[in-house]
Structure 1
């Protein structure tokens, strides 16, 4: 039995930042991480950092005209190598930021509750018990594997994690799922030079977005060569003669089709990673989706155990996990004034090319709530900076309360939208009405100044 003040299960953004905070305050901290490849968490190793590194390389690739497929494949191999270099550097830095601190001990192994304040840790060589009065769960989320015939142990089938280890550019990539993850990878691989087909089970793409935004996204990706098959229900994935054969049916016509592919990506969502934690013995409850139930201060149904990051459900972003850290920090060491319900609305970006970014409600949601709103739109082709970049696809859209002039939501499908949306967020968070952005003095030419015209 080894005693600590705090045990943190998982080396993600919220957990690692809390570990450093506790250690700084003289607490003895144990951090349990099941894989040496995951020091630093999802974002650094299999999420935002590697994908955005590849998105950047794919954008470079899209501008390289006249290359053979073999030349494109070589560039892709180099891009994977760059991605590996970036993630390895950050993983090593994150490990040593904690492991080198005298108050922190990092254990690489599987952690599982054996009582409300005890964790069994199974490493490659031994098994032992850790004990602490304060425990933080930060185990993240994992890919959802749908029940499709033939995908188990199929060498041509990948998740969003494993496909980033693929060093050979597929000539034809089939993506199962047309959500945000599927669209991001479709844009990336099409830019690298793959033929990409997206199989989406619904009749429309990205149902969370307004139909005009979704249509603009689809049109832009189709220009890149991405093919969409809607109402597609995948039945099986078999491999024959070093190829994958994807069989799917059209749910409207009941027709059955086959596609030959070099790789198949399952982009069917992610779910909280709680398997093996033995939460029941700790008195920690989960909801119907498997997410750990927490209160506004991130306490679970056992108040001595908290959950931060993706494992508690909701928005799965590293900046949410970082904000979870702030909530716990302020609850334990501050004035207890910060809580989970304070942070809405939260912006997000999907890194297709161009990025799709949004904050607040969209037009469809406003109409369903019977709100009296003004809708403003601006095509990207009308923005001077977009013309200088040679990137004129996309659409900007704002939802404004008619009486008060307050901004209820903004969607930006445009170059640099992942940066510009933060300016909108600041305006909304500080209670500015739409005229603040309409009349703000932005630099020229910039994508930000498009907000002047959007809100006119």
Structure 2
């Protein structure tokens, strides 16, 4: 029987980052993973492979629409789908092998197999029981589907199946207008598929700043995506390798049918805790199935902690990473902390969409006095030169103190630009602090400075 200071269950971004930080802090550490490769959903069938396909399909889009404008003449590239999938698989392999190298470098034992927790302080994998002073559950999440919709990963697919389709469909129906549905819908639209997105709510990307969401939908429609909002999917029937999606419009209860070669179910994810034995242990759960934790990620059972998608909060890899580092520091006797008010969100379409902090809707609901600074990328020289002028930067600041409360960006490199504002918010900066910081020219980041200037006396280039 092996014994450790800490055993982490799950090797996704939360789990492997937690393991590395534990090892760095001098704790004898092991990680349990049943997949053949480390990295969890994110590296194997999520964030990383989807970004590979987003990148390659965006390059195709640039070749088809913008190369000739720049004097790049020649035959438009054709799509070799098998080669594109092979490129995606190479990206996965490079990243997962990298995590395996980090485990060895930090002397972290990989216990291969699926874990259960027969008792506090014990982790069972196969027939072996391993002892640990502390256990961290980082088991991640799984696809959540709808009643009447059965996923077969061939015709009716989750994000996993959408990353390895046998061929590019002529028509794809996407159920759900959230991050996953819009990213993968964009991929297949660029590759030539007809894509229709069906969403239950009356707006895409629930929870996003409403102005950004409207601009985002308008931009995606210009790119060819179709939308049916306010529609409740009733069923998906598969026959002769085709699918029929039946849905009802909420406004009048009328029923409609949409034919498709592939249906992507992108209705969210739920915590994956099956087989851990949490009920038998007495680990308390939240009403929606997340593991209940305190401010230090401790569960109701002493010595058992949980992080990432398995607990409440946004299901984001970087949120899990921060929690992994935080709980490792707690276990090492330090003061682990995560600032949940400064966790960015990004959608990796083109243009990208990024946000941090409060939306205008939240500030209005809270009765918070605020001011808005906006700047369009059409006023940014670099963006115009790169055919990337769609979108804007929007900064929300306290009306009296000028302290930044939130920011929302739709435009080029939004997922990178948002972090300047994250750092500012971590230090309690005012919009004026950003506005008075010199930004290199010509860069996309100048749009952030201009938005900050717009919170004061006004932007320069608008």
What's 1:289 paired with?
Answer: 288
Question: Root-mean-square deviation (CA), in Å?
Answer: 2.1
SS at match of 2:97: helix
Q: How many Å separate the matches in 2 of 1:261 and 1:76? A: 20
Shift, 1:307, TM fit: 1.0
Structure 2: how far apart are the matches of 1:76 and 1:4?
A: 46
Other-structure match for 2:177: 178
Change over 3 Å in CA distance of 1:309–1:378 after alignment to 2: same
Within the alignment, does 1:441 sit opposite 2:441 as a pair?
Answer: no
User: Deviation per CA, 1:400-424, whole angstroms, max 9, x where unpaired?
Assistant: 1111111111100111111111011
Partner of 1:110: 114
**CA contact 2:209–2:408 (8 Å) conserved in 1:** no
How far is the alpha carbon of 1:21 from its aligned partner?
4.1
Distance 1:185 1:119, change over 3 A: same
**Alignment partner for residue 80 of structure 1, among 80, 85, 88?**
85
Report the Cα offset of residue 65 of structure 1. 2.4
**SS of the residue 1:422 aligns to:** helix
Structure 1 segments unaligned to the other structure (5+ residues): none
| Cα contact 1:4–1:29 (8 A) shared by 2 | yes
CA displacement 1:295-335 (0-9 Å, x = unmatched): 22211112311112211121222222221232123223354
Distance 1:237 1:343, change over 3 A: closer
Tell me which residue corresponds to 2:344. 347
TM-score by length of 1: 0.91
Q: Distance in 1 between matches of 2:445 and 2:13?
A: 29
1:140 aligned residue: 140
Distance in 1 separating the partners of 2:8 and 2:304: 10
Q: Check 1:307–1:113 CA distance in 2 against 1; reply closer, same or farther (3 A cut).
A: same
Aligned with 1:62: secondary structure?
helix
Tell me the matched-pair count: 443
1:368 aligned onto 2:365: yes
Partner of 2:241: 242
| Distance (Å, rounded) in 1 between the aligned partners of 2:77 and 2:155 | 20
Return the alpha-carbon distance in structure 2 between the equivalents of residues 439 and 427 of structure 1: 12
Find the aligned partners of 1:152 and 1:141 in 2 and give their Cα distance. 16
For residues 286 and 378 of structure 2, what CA distance do their matches in structure 1 show? 45
The Cα of 1:343 is off from its aligned counterpart by 4.5
State the distance in 2 between where 1:184 and 1:87 align. 18
Q: Deviations over 1:184-240 (max 9, x none)?
A: 222222122211100001122223123321110111000111000112211221222
1:253 positional shift: 2.2
1:224-303 → structure 2 map (5 Å cutoff): 224-303=223-302
Given that 1:176 and 1:267 are in contact with CA atoms closer than 8 Å, whether structure 2 keeps it comes out as yes
What is the rounded CA distance, in whole Å, between the counterparts of 1:211 and 1:137 in structure 2?
35
* 1:260 CA drift (Å): 1.6
Cα drift, residue 5 of structure 1: 3.3
Q: 1:157 maps to which residue?
A: 156
CA contact (8 A) 2:58 2:190 kept: yes
Moved more, 221-230 or 429-438: 429-438
**Equivalent residues of 1:272, 1:313 under 8 A apart:** no
SS in structure 1 at match of 2:388:
coil
Q: 1:100, CA displacement in angstroms?
A: 7.2
> Which residue of structure 1 lines up, in the alignment, with residue 9 of structure 2?
9
Task: Tell whether the 8 Å contact from 1:80 to 1:167 is kept in structure 2 after alignment.
Answer: no
What are the Cα deviations for residues 367-393 of structure 1, in whole angstroms up to 9, with x where unaligned? 111111112222322222211110222
Q: Spell out, residue by residue over 1:9-64, the C-alpha distance to the aligned partner (whole angstroms, 9 max, x if none).
A: 11122322333344456654332212214x12222112221111111111101123
What's the counterpart of residue 131 of structure 1? 131
Cα pair distance change 1:21/1:399, threshold 3 Å = closer
Give the whole-Å Cα distance in 2 for the aligned partners of 1:430 and 1:413: 24
Contact 2:20–2:103 (Cα < 8 Å) also in 1: yes
Alpha-carbon distance in 1 for matches of 2:395, 2:19: 40
Distance 1:217 1:76, change over 3 A: farther
Which of 396, 412, 422 matches 1:415?
A: 412
Aligned-partner Cα distance in 2 for 1:246–1:59: 28
Pick closer, same or farther for the CA change 1:209–1:306 going to 2, 3 Å: same
C-alpha distance 64-186 of structure 1, shift in aligned 2 (>3 A): same
C-alpha contact 1:291 1:311 (8 A) present in aligned 2:
yes
Deviation string for 1:129-157 (max 9, x for gaps)? 222221111101111021125x2547301
Residues 116 and 281, structure 1, Cα contact 8 Å, conserved in 2: no
What corresponds to 2:69 in structure 1?
none
Taking the aligned partners of 2:22 and 2:365, their CA distance within structure 1 comes to 45
